[in-house]
Amino acid sequence: MNPHVRKNRELWDEWTEINVRSAFYDVAGWKATGRGLDPEVREALGDLTGASVLHLQCHFGLDTLRLAQLAAHVTGVDLSPRAIAHARALSAETGITARFIESDVYALPEVLGERFDVVFSSYGAIEWLPDLGRWAELVARYLKPGGRLVLVEGHPTMWMFDSDHPTELRVATTYFHGPQPIEILPTVGNYADPTAVVTAPAYSWIHDLAEIVTAVLGANLRLTALREYAHIVWKAFPFLVETAPGRWEQPPEQPRIPLMFALVATRPK
């Protein structure tokens, strides 16, 4: 395992315990209402009736269980032991059937051999992957002929800006990062709870849109859809305005930039 990924496993073990009790994920609210997947995700996924789905980097399984309510068979994968433990407990508690596997994405062939109709990943997932080429090859390996990859993510342009500036977009870093990870030292707060104390460092890799698309094409997958959105499903910047439940946009006086994208690609039959 990449040493930075190994450190990130420690981080996600820590973040899991923060996230499962956070208002951001609102597990209790989901149990009470059965709130489904975001509209952008549903649009990208298409019809899942009778489908088998592999959910990569599933965290503690909330979206995996939402997928399981739409598809025939769903498998969630995450490298964090604590996340997988919470996912299995949530599945047992709700009676929603899904399989959960603890594994680093790159080591998954050691423990999983079958193929799926859909491989799915979303929201802050690929920034934890050091090698998108290998990731795309793994996706292709797990797709049945005619199967599709569905990726819904924060747009790479968004990561250029200071996420803490209170009033406007301020460029904080370059769009083109290259192969070296960005180190984030331990701090107070994470994306789900700004008050939580975090002790583990984080290492992330920012991938530009060309790198993402090139990785997918390089794995001999056929790009069938690429959508960019001027809104996002969480409050990525303090000044964003909630224009509908779970839909955050730039205020009218601010320039519009792409905040999220959806990519769909298929494995040829």
Residues forming a β-bridge with 197 = 188
| Residues 194, 19 contacting (CB under 8 angstroms) | no
User: Is residue 218 very low, low, confident or very high in pLDDT (cuts 50, 70, 90)?
Assistant: very high
User: Is residue 49 very low, low, confident or very high in pLDDT (cuts 50, 70, 90)?
Assistant: very high
Q: At 173, which amino acid appears?
A: T
Mean pLDDT of the chain: 95
Residue 29 clears pLDDT 90, i.e. is over it: yes
Region 205-232: mean pLDDT is 97
Q: Which has more confidence, 107 or 197? A: 107
Region 163-176: mean pLDDT is 91
Helix/strand/coil (H, E, C) string of the chain? Answer: CCHHHHHHHHHHHHHHHHHCCCCCCCHHHHHHHCCCCCHHHHHHHCCCCCCEEEEECCCCCHHHHHHHCCCCEEEEEECCHHHHHHHHHHHHHHCCCCEEEECCHHHHHHCCCCCEEEEEEECCCHHHCCCHHHHHHHHHHHEEEEEEEEEEEECHHHHHECCCCCCCCCECCCCCCCCCCEEECCCECCCCCCCCECCCCEEECCCCHHHHHHHHHHCCCEEEEEEEECEECCCCCCCCEEEECCEEECCCCCCCCCCEEEEEEECCC
What pLDDT, on a 0 to 100 scale, did the predictor assign at position 123? 94
What pLDDT, on a 0 to 100 scale, did the predictor assign at position 5? 92
User: Is residue 69 very low, low, confident or very high in pLDDT (cuts 50, 70, 90)?
Assistant: very high
Q: What percent of the chain clears pLDDT 70, i.e. is strictly above it?
A: 100
User: Is residue 77 very low, low, confident or very high in pLDDT (cuts 50, 70, 90)?
Assistant: very high
Structure tokens at 179: 């192969």
- Report domain extents, the chain: 3-266
Residue 2 clears pLDDT 90, i.e. is over it: no
Region 199-218: mean pLDDT is 95
What is the CATH code of the structural domain delimited by 3-266? 3.40.50.150
Residue 1 clears pLDDT 90, i.e. is over it: no
d(CA 41, CA 56): 15
What pLDDT, on a 0 to 100 scale, did the predictor assign at position 187? 82
Residue 190 clears pLDDT 90, i.e. is over it: no
What pLDDT, on a 0 to 100 scale, did the predictor assign at position 184? 86
pTM: 0.96
Region 173-192: mean pLDDT is 88
Region 198-218: mean pLDDT is 95
Residue 188 clears pLDDT 90, i.e. is over it: no
Dihedrals phi, psi of 25, to nearest 5 degrees: -85, -30
